[in-house]
Structure 1
Amino acid sequence: MTSETGEGADLQPSRNPQRSLAARLVFVAALWSTLALALAGVFLVSLYQRASERAFDAQLEIHIKALVAQMLETGPGADGTVSVLTAPAYRGDPRFSLPLSGWYWTVRRAGSQDILYSSESLLGDPLDAPPIGDADISAGFVAGPTGDEVRILQRQISVEDTPYVIAVAAATAGFWADIAEFARLVALTLCIVGLGLILAIFLQVRVGLRPLSRLRASLSAVRRGEAERIDEALPREIAPLAVELNALILSNREIVERARTHVGNLAHGLKTPLSVISNEARSAGGPLAEKVSEQAAIMSTQIQHHLERARMAAQRRVIGVSCETEPVLARLIRAMGKIYHDKGVSVGFDQAAPIRFRGESQDLEEMSGNLIDNACKWAASKVAVAVAPFNDPATNREMFTITVEDDGPGLTPEQRAEAVKRGKRLDETVPGTGLGLSIVADLAALYGGSLELDRSAMGGLKARLILPSLGRE
C-alpha cells in the first residue's frame, strides 16, 4: 500500500547522530590541555637538567681551583714572582683516592694526551678527555675508565708560557637518577593537574550547557502537551531562541485555528446547497432528477472526504499534543460491545505496557474506531484488539501498532488492495460510505504511519495500524 509522506517524516531522528556539543568541547579542551601540559613537562625537565649541569660543573670547578692552588708554587724572580708547576697530592674528596670510584682528575700539557699527573682513583688508566681547543674551559660527557659515563670539566692554564689542561671528571649515575626522579615527579604532578583540569572543564561545560538542557526539557513539555509555552527565563545568549520558538508555536496555533475555521465555513457553505439540490431533485422525479441526485451524492462524498483530510492535516500540525492509547481504546471497545451486543460479538483487548500516541486523541479514536467498527460488522463472534510497541527499522523511529482481527469471512489479496481506496465499498448490503479505511490510511500517513491489511489467524481480516509513539526523553 502506498502511503503519503506526512509531517511525521520530519520528526525522524538522524541515522548518523553527531557527537554531542558537550563531548566536543570537553574533547578539544582536554586535547589542548594535555598537549600544553606535556610541553610544559618537557620544558621543566629541560630547565632542571640545565640547572643540574651548571651545579655539577660548579662542583667540578671547585676541585679544579683546588688542584691549581696545590700545583702552583710562587717565588722571587727578576721581575717579581715566578710560578712553578709541582706534583699535586690532591685529596679534596675521598673518592679521588678510591680505585675506579668514578671521580678522577688529570693534568696534561695542552695539545697532548700524555698525562703528567692523575688521581689515585684512575689506577694508571687513561681518562679519555676530548681536545679543549682554543677555549679556556669546556664541559661534556665522556666514557670513564670502566665504560660508565662521566661528566668532565677541563680548564686550560699557563705556567711559564707553557699551557696545561686540568680535567676533573665525575660519574653521572646519580646525576641522571636525580633528573629521572624529577621527571617522574613532574609527570605525576602534571597528570594530577591534567585530570583536575579535565574534570574542571567537564564541570564547566556541564554547568555552562545546563540552560540548553532546560530549554530542551521545556520544549519537550510543550511537545508532550504538558505546557503551552517554553520557559523564557534563560541566559541572555539563548533567551532570544526561546522567544522565537514561542512565537513560532503561537503562529502555528493561529494557522491551525484559521484552517479549522475555513474548513468549517466551507463545510457549511457546501453542504446546504447540496442538500437543497438533492431534495429538489428527489421531489422533481424523472431521469434528469435521478442523474442530478446521483451526482449530488457523489459530490457530497467527495466533499466529505476532502474536508475530512483538510481537518486531519490541520490537526496534525498542532504542536505539543499526545494521548494515552489505553483509555481511548478501552472506551471504544466498551461502546462497540454495547452496539453489537445483540449480534453476540465479543471484543478482546490486550495492551501489555503503557503507550502514548504522538497526536490528538480524536484522531486515534477515529482511526481505531473505524477499524474496530469494521471488524465488528463482519465478525462472526470474536474481535481481538492488541497494542504493542514497534521500532521502525527503516527510520529507527519509536512506533506502536494497533492490530484488529476478526473471525469473519475476510478479504482476498485483491479485495484488501481495493478496500483502502477512497469510496470503495466491497459489499453494498452493509451500510457505509466506503470512506472508513481510506480515512484511516490517509490520517495514519499524515502522522508518518501506515495501515496494512492481511489475513487473520482467526480466519477473517487483520488490520495493522502503525503510528508514532512518544518515546522517553
Structure 2
Amino acid sequence: MTSAFPFPKLRAAKGAQRPSKRGGSLTRRMIVVSAIWIILLLGVGGFALDRVLTRELERAFDAQLDYVLTALIASAEIGPDGEAYLNRPPADQRFLEPNSGVYFQISAVRTGGPPMGTADTDFPSRSLWDRRLQVRGGHNDFKVHVYNTTEFPTETLRVVERDARIPGSKLRWRFQVAQTRAELDDQITVLRSTMITSFGILGLGLIILAALQALYGLWPLRRVRRAIAQIRSGEKSRIEESFPREIEPLTEELNALLVHNEVQAEEARRHAGNLAHALKTPLTVITNAATAKSPDLADTVCREATTMRRQVDHHLARARAIGRRSSAQARADVWPSLQAVERAVSRLYENTTVDLAGDKNASVRVERQDLDEMVGNLIENAAKYGGGRVFVTVNTTPECVEIDVEDDGKGIPEAERTSIFDRGARLDTGKPGTGLGLAIVRDVAQIYGGSVQLEESEDLGGLLARLKLPLCS
C-alpha cells in the first residue's frame, strides 16, 4: 500500500534546513518602530496644535464679545428714574431678534454683596425676550470675566461680563454680553475633523515612506543572502557584486572567511596526504617483514612504529595549531607559560638551572597550549643538550615578541642549523627523542605568522634559539 507521503525523511530534512523565525524580521521591526514613533509624534503634535488653535478660536470669539461689551459700557447712561439705558442702539441687529443667540443685559449689583437686579432695574436686550441672564456673585472687581453657562436649556452660552459705574448713579452695574457657543463649537469641530484627516493622511504617508525606506535600505542584505546561497550551491565561489559602502566591509569579510576556510581545507587535505604518504613506507616494511617471516620482525615493528608515531605526533601538532589559529580571541601571556615550563623542566633535569628575564607583561596572539608546546620544546632541548645552564629572555618590539632560549652546550654548526628543522633530524642519537621538537616549533610558529631561527649564544657559548611570535596589543 502506497503512503500518501512517500518521502517523509526528505520532507523532514527540508524542514530542518529552514531558517528559524524566532528572531523575527528586521524589516518588520523597523517599520513597526517607525510607525509607533510616527503615531506618537503626530498624536502629541496634533493634541498640542488642537489646544493652540482651539484657544485662538475662543480668544477671537471672546474678543468680539468684549468689543460689544466695551461699546455697551460706553453708551450706557442713567435716566431720570435711575434706570440704565443706551444712548444709541447696538449695531448688531441680532440683539433685536428674540432668541437670536446673541444677548446683553445690564444689571445693578450691590457692592460686596449678592446681586440686587430686578425686572425693573435690569436692562436686557430684546433678544432675551422673557428670559434673563443670571447675575452671579463671586467677584468684586472691574475686570473682564469670561465663562460658559448652561442656564438656558436649549443652548450653551459664552458669557463676557464686567462691572462698571455709570456717571450719575451710585450703584454698581454689571454689563453682560452672551452668545451661544454653537457657532464656536462648529468651528472647533470642523477644525478637529480637518486636523484628524490631515494628520491621518500624513501619518499613513510617513509609515509608507518608512516601509519603503526599510525595504530599499535592506535590499542589499537580500542580495548578500542570495549571493551566499549561490556560493553554498556551488554556483559561485566569491561574492563579486558591488554593494553600498556600509555593506562592503561585510562582503569583504565574508570573502576573507571563504578564503580562510579554503586554505584550512587545503591544509587539511595536504596534511592528510602527507600523513598517508609518511605511513605508507613503514607499513610496507612491516608487511614485507611479516610476509617473509623475518627473524628480526619484532625489531622491525618497533623501529617502524616509532617512525609512524613521530609522523602522527608531528601532523597532529600542526592540525591542532591550524584549528586553533582561526580564533580571533587567541591570546597568551608569555611569562606564566615560561614559568610553567621552567618548573616542569627543572623536575625532569635536576642538574639544570633555567633563568628567566625580560618583559613580564608580554603577550602574544597565540593559543596558550601552542605557546607552551613551542617554548617547552625549545627549553627542553636546551636542558637536554646543554651543560646545565639555560637562559630565557623575553623582548618586546613594536611588531612581535622575541623569546630567546640560550644554553651552554656544544651548539650546532652553522651548516647544520637549517637541516636540523627537518622531521626526525637528530644530531645526538644517544639521547631519547623523536627528532620532531624543532620541526613542530617551526611549523606551529609559521602557522601563527611567526618564525624560529638558530644562532650562536654570545653569553653562554652554546645554541641560541630565537622564537618570534606576533604581538598581542
Q: What's the TM-score bracket when you normalise by the shorter of the two chains?
A: 0.5 to 0.7
Q: Report whether the alignment pairs 1:242 with 2:251.
A: yes
Matched ranges for 1:168-207 at <5 A: 168-207=177-216
SS of aligned partner of 1:86: strand
Cα separation, partners in 2 of 1:146 and 1:92, compared to 1, 3 Å: farther
**Aligned match of 2:117 in 114, 117, 120?**
114
The whole-number CA distance in structure 2 between the counterparts of 1:127 and 1:22 is 63
Q: What is the CA distance between 1:99 and its match in structure 2?
A: 3.4
Residue of structure 2 equivalent to 1:276: 285
CA positional deviation for 1:52: 1.3
Q: Tell me the amino acid that sits aligned with residue 131 of structure 2.
A: D
Trace 1:375-394 onto structure 2 (pairs within 5 A).
Answer: none
What are the residue-to-residue correspondences of 1:81-160 with 2, within 5 Å? Answer: 85-86=84-85, 90=89, 92-111=91-110, 112=115, 114-115=117-118, 116-131=122-137, 132-160=139-167
Whether the 8 Å CA contact 1:64–1:167 is kept in 2: the answer is: yes
Residue 424 of structure 2 corresponds to which residue in structure 1? none
The separation in 1 between residues aligned to 2:135 and 2:251, in whole angstroms, is 78
State the SS of the aligned residue for 2:149.
strand
The aligned amino acid for 1:106 is Q
Asked whether the equivalents of residues 232 and 243 of structure 1 are also in contact (C-alpha less than 8 Å), the reply is no
- In structure 1, how many angstroms separate the alpha carbons of the residues matched to 2:18 and 2:55? 59
Partners of 1:231 and 1:74 lie apart in 2 by: 102
**For the structure 1 residues 129 and 102, does the alpha-carbon distance in structure 2 shift closer, same or farther, using more than 3 Å as the test?**
farther
Which residue does 1:27 correspond to in 2?
32
Please tell me whether residue 17 in structure 1 is matched to residue 16 in structure 2: no
What is the alpha-carbon distance in structure 1 between the residues aligned to residue 26 and residue 135 of structure 2? Answer: 61
Runs of 5+ in structure 2 lacking a partner? 1-12, 324-473
Greater RCO, CA 8 A, separation 6+: 1
Q: Any idea what the Cα deviations from partners look like across 1:20-63, whole Å, max 9, x if unmatched?
A: 22222221121111111111211222122111112211222233
Counterparts of 1:165 and 1:90, CA distance in 2:
18
Hey, what's the Cα distance between the residues in 2 that align with 1:97 and 1:177? 24
Distance between the aligned counterparts of 2:243 and 2:79, measured in 1?
89
TM-score norm. by structure 2 comes to 0.53
Aligned-pair Cα RMSD in Å: 3.9
Match of 2:340 in 1: none
Cα pair 2:162 2:174 within 8 Å, conserved: yes
In the alignment, structure 1 segments of 5+ residues that lack a partner are 1-7, 76-82, 315-473
Between 86-95 and 112-121, the greater mean CA deviation after superposition: 86-95
Q: Percent identity?
A: 35
d(CA) in 2 for partners of 1:129 and 1:224? 91
Q: Deviations over 1:183-208 (max 9, x none)?
A: 01100000001111111111112222
Mapped partners of 2:150, 2:89: distance in 1: 23
